[in-house]
Structure 1
């Protein structure tokens, strides 16, 4: 059974979908803890599913590295097999990536390498793209630049707003994340150390 720690910053809709999947006894993973970089509203999902949670508040640290060290200290006791960034809106310091990679994955609302960064849906609309997508990647030191583990196209429809397009991307993102977690748990997806 794959042990997951999920890190969030916001409402945790992807987290909730993953908790629901992990509730199925046939699913080969379970969430052992949920962490956040602030008092995120999504922590309520952890409470609802009886999963322990922790907060490592970004503003309490004088540097990214100090915050990263504290975050690692909060994660380590849970001995996760995989750490999932699910809407964590904070770049992890190099030391955190080094400590957790390659067993560190992130969801992204675009068909990477297209539209990396924090405003992927807005950027796709601004570019006039006919389609965008959703991706799950292994995290590296870049911004949404790690190896793609799964991705799928999502069409941009006439009249789409950032909100309507994101609403159509989210279910795809959730499905891809569950598929990647299952793939890692069963050995179908191999996470490789970087060279």
Structure 2
């Protein structure tokens, strides 16, 4: 096996997607290793998940910086210091700046709980319920300067049940997130993703 891809994960909350990625790295199904986990929230359980697996867990509070650009510059510095080649946004509740994106061109992935381009931004599950769609899902995409507008890598569909609440729908979407996010990272690690315009093609 060649050199393992080094991943940096940014997360603000409990880190269930982080856990699915850790598990797949540890069982060898993703040829990658998580070099660091960074959160802007010192209470994030994701940091505890990282520590329990021996992964460097770092809290960078955005409130301690003069603005978004200064905060993102420090994020980039820490990620680069850990040799990170792919940045994974696993529930990171901040919009990242163009400077951050330029530091990791075509190497930042995000998961969104809707079938983009439908329902971008916050509360995607609530948006889907309010709109009355019959099918929603989740999307793994590369990050660009827009909000949830980058090239789509992978999607999974989830039917909307008549009795669904935001919580029940979110739970079923999350199960699909835990399946496709590690898969997208695996394809990246195996150098099997090629961006051509807005399309991400999978190489055999």
Whether TM-score is above 0.5 comes out as: yes
Alpha-carbon distance between aligned partners in 2 of 1:145 and 1:50, rounded to the nearest angstrom: 34
Is 1:3 matched with 2:6? yes
Instruction: Provide the secondary structure at the position in 1 that maps to 2:176.
Output: helix
Task: Return the match for 1:115 from 78, 103, 119.
Answer: 119
SS in 2 for 1:70: helix
Map residues 41-190 of structure 1 onto 2, 5 A cutoff. 41-190=45-194
Cα contact 1:101–1:193 (8 A) shared by 2: no
Structure 1: which 5+ residue stretches go unaligned? none
For 1:21 and 1:53, the matched residues in 2 are separated by 19
Task: Please report how far the alpha carbon of residue 183 of structure 1 lies from its aligned counterpart in structure 2 after TM superposition.
Answer: 0.4
2:21 maps to 1:18: yes
Residue 101 of structure 1: how far off its partner (Å): 2.1
Q: TM-score, normalised by structure 1?
A: 0.95
Q: How many residues were matched structurally? A: 194
The TM-score, its normalising length taken from structure 2, stands at 0.91
Does the Cα contact within 8 Å between 1:8 and 1:35 map onto a contact in 2?
A: yes
SS of 1:190's equivalent in the other structure is strand
For the aligned residues, what is the CA RMSD?
1.4
SS of the residue 2:157 aligns to? strand
**Which piece of structure 1 moves more, 145-154 or 69-78?**
69-78
Distance between the aligned counterparts of 1:26 and 1:150, measured in 2? 17
Structure 1 residue 193: deviation in Å?
A: 9.0
In structure 2, how many angstroms separate the alpha carbons of the residues matched to 1:26 and 1:109? 24
Stretches (4+) displaced over 2 A: 190-194
Q: 1:31 aligns with which of 30, 34, 37?
A: 34
Name the SS for the 2:194 alignment partner.
Answer: coil
CA contact (8 A) 1:184 1:191 kept: no
* C-alpha contact 2:87 2:107 (8 A) present in aligned 1: yes
